[in-house]
Structure 1
Amino acid sequence: MSIFRFPVLVWLGIATLIFSLGIRQSFGLFMTPIVDTFGTGREFFSLAIAVQNLLFGVFQPFVGMAADRFGAKRIIGLGAIAYGAGLYLTSITQEPNMLFISLGVLVGLGLSATSYVIVLGAIARVVPAEHTAKAFGLTTAAGSFGMFAVIPGAQSLLADYDWQTAMQFFALCCCAMVAFASFMKTNNQANPAAVAIAEDKQSLREALQEAFNHKGYWLIHMGFFVCGFHVMFIATHLPSYLADKGLPADTAALALAYVGIFNIFGSYFWGLMGDSYDKRYVMTSLYLLRTAVIAAFVTLPVTVNTATIFGAAIGFCWLGTVPLTSGLVRQIFGAKYMSTLYGLVFFTHQVGSFLGAWVGGRIYDYYGSYEPIWWSTVVLAFVAAILHLPINAKPLVRPSAPMVTA
């Protein structure tokens, strides 16, 4: 299937992710101005972002269940409203602890309803199974394009205005996600995959019990935990790390933009590999590449060039885990409850994100250095590479319902 023949819902999902994840990945640029405004340490802002990511994960299974029951259209629209409200309240608050409600709770809820789990769950229902990894890879790449497009814009807003104005502009952008959701149609019974879902009589409880008894499902959880730890530590703390090394402020924005643009290619590439080869081995290769890239970055001298190269290299394997992880869940358990089952996996991812964002600030404030946490990410990447090898990725075969005869 050509990417140009994907259903309209795929392209609306891509547009949603451009805004949702592009804004999210820019939050690291706000650390210094927000810390300066409220006179707090880096750990305070790191904890607010960590709360956001933890609640992002806590909300995700429940939001996924709601999407499986009521449809992605309503969930994305309501999530975009919560997202915009959280950003606007962040911009006007005078009390730093309010950030835990606005930037933490509301934005966390908004993200859970407008990011990969809900969008990919809807796509799984309208795209044939043999093309899901490609479709998931293309959709994942959209979040990276948002990162590439939004982060330089955030840097320009921060340079020309204050951080409050930048937050308010992003709040207005959330209106676009509401518009995209209003055009989504997720019921496509002409699609054989959708018909199969309708005929599948498995209950949610049975689906959860089946997944919890599958060893590979828990290995998928552990691997995605590492991914969450990596991406939020780097997205939140790379700007401050580069500033500590004496590099210009725009170096971090450029490095993060390179993460975004190279992930456009990387996510689609890893998605194609997942359609062509065993997803377990593709995932192992991705994490081994991460291991080498991060180890090289913390070993070599930190310069503008090495920071830029690191952004490009880590970007190539940044969110390639998403089409592969979601593809494994879809491949093993089917599409009917994918938003729920992948939502639970994503919760584990966000526990990793919480620890990556918070522990990074904690380690820095305690040791005055990021070096210990950088080397921890190297070890975790290697462990994640090994974890995917023993997963049994064969689709589960469920007994058919007995036929009733007169």
Structure 2
Amino acid sequence: MFCADGTYFYAFPVFFEAMLKDMEWSRAETAAALSIGIFVIGAISPLIGILVSKIGIRLITILGSVVAGIGFILLSTVTEPWQFYLYYGLILSLGIACIDLVPNMAAVGSWFVKRRSMALGIATAGIGAGGAVLPPLASWLISMYGWQTSFLFLAALATLIGVPISAIIMRTREEKKSISGEKQEKDVSSDRVLIEGTTIEQAVKGQAFWLISIGGMLWVWAYMTGLIHLVAFAVDVGIERVAAAGAVGLLAVFSIPGRLGFGRLGDAVDKRYVFMMGTFLQIVAFIVLMRSTNLTMLYIYSLLLGINIGGVTPILPGLLIDHFGKKYFG
């Protein structure tokens, strides 16, 4: 998740601003690539979940790392918007979908019962770490070598780090082989659905599935809109690009305590209330952004939205597992 989200999501605003200037495309034209990509990830995620259950997490994440590397290499050759949509919106997005939340959350969710939200928070802290490191690095690479060569650096990162980590660390685990939480699960819950899992057919017939899905969709839509245009917005109000990229990095840094804090809170109180608290922070963050005219205000926005992103990210999969069990979680 360090590589996947750090390169795909958090570094995108930096490349976005550089490509706008170089290619003379409109903002809507350029941002459409990420919109397509998010749609592709959402559409393909159920299939990835099925494949994770059928053939295992390790093979899926290795394949995803290779495809992501190919996507970044192709992006270094972009000259037309349609190429950007194909390489970023389709090819890279398919690779990222195979190494991001679905396989990782399925892996973590199957290992932990007690303190599951905390475990998910710790796991997703890699997203914050990647977001803290990679946007400033991308900004420096672009200033030194240009955005085309910088995409090649990201290709090397995705492949040379992603493939070995997937091969060495990622493992499928049968439910009966889970760590001690499996026995604890039978003691702490009399509801067999938590162990056996609700099927997809059963889940989509219930209100909870759609409320969680729509709530998650609206939350992602709001924060991604602010993230994509953050650097370009900051440059418009007179803030230097490197400083604006730093705001993206800080957003990711602030997401780490959000992940850990909300993860711990999600184990102590109803996750629905934790989600509501996170979305309230999002509202406040965008009010601050609308009034941002200097770097200080931009950093306050990064603080608030970072805690929101970090906090809600582990809560949503926790809600799904609580309602529908682990067996079909992917």
**Superposition TM-score, scaled by structure 1 size:** 0.74
Larger radius of gyration: 1
1:169 equivalent in alignment to 2:153 = yes
Q: 1:161 to 1:291 in 2, by over 3 A?
A: same
Query: CA contact under 8 A between 1:293 and 1:313: conserved in structure 2?
Result: yes
What SS does the aligned partner of 1:338 have? coil
2:30 maps to amino acid = F
Deviation (angstroms), 1:297: 2.9
Deviation (angstroms), 1:203: 9.5
Distance 1:180 1:301 in 2: 40
2:153 maps to amino acid = F
Deviation (angstroms), 1:301: 4.4
Query: CA contact under 8 A between 2:288 and 2:297: conserved in structure 1?
Result: no
Distance 1:81 1:121 in 2: 21
1:335 equivalent in alignment to 2:321 = no
Deviation string 1:331-354 (CA, Å, 9 cap, x unpaired) is 111111111xxxxxxxxxxxxxxx
Deviation (angstroms), 1:296: 2.9
Distance 1:193 1:335 in 2: 13
Query: CA contact under 8 A between 1:125 and 1:193: conserved in structure 2?
Result: no
Distance 1:254 1:32 in 2: 14
Query: CA contact under 8 A between 2:196 and 2:325: conserved in structure 1?
Result: no
Deviation (angstroms), 1:193: 5.8
**For 1:85-164, what aligned pairs fall within 5 Å after superposition?**
85-127=70-112, 129-164=113-148
1:376 corresponds in structure 2 to none
Deviation string 1:86-111 (CA, Å, 9 cap, x unpaired) is 11001023333211111110111011
**Identity, % of aligned pairs?**
24
Deviation string 1:60-118 (CA, Å, 9 cap, x unpaired) is 11111101111111111111111111110010233332111111101110111111121
What SS does the aligned partner of 2:115 have? helix
Q: 1:43 to 1:293 in 2, by over 3 A?
A: closer
1:310 maps to amino acid = Y
**Superposition TM-score, scaled by structure 2 size:** 0.91
**For 1:7-406, what aligned pairs fall within 5 Å after superposition?**
17-24=1-8, 25-127=10-112, 129-175=113-159, 176-183=161-168, 184-187=170-173, 189-191=176-178, 207-298=199-290, 300-339=291-330
Query: CA contact under 8 A between 1:73 and 1:185: conserved in structure 2?
Result: yes
Say which is worse superposed, 255-264 or 185-194, in terms of deviation: 185-194
Runs of 4 or more consecutive aligned structure 1 residues displaced over 4 Å after TM superposition? 192-197
Deviation string 1:24-71 (CA, Å, 9 cap, x unpaired) is 110111113223333321111111121111111111111111011111
Distance 1:226 1:156 in 2: 33
1:103 maps to amino acid = Y
Query: CA contact under 8 A between 1:251 and 1:307: conserved in structure 2?
Result: no
What SS does the aligned partner of 2:111 have? coil
Q: 1:92 to 1:287 in 2, by over 3 A?
A: same
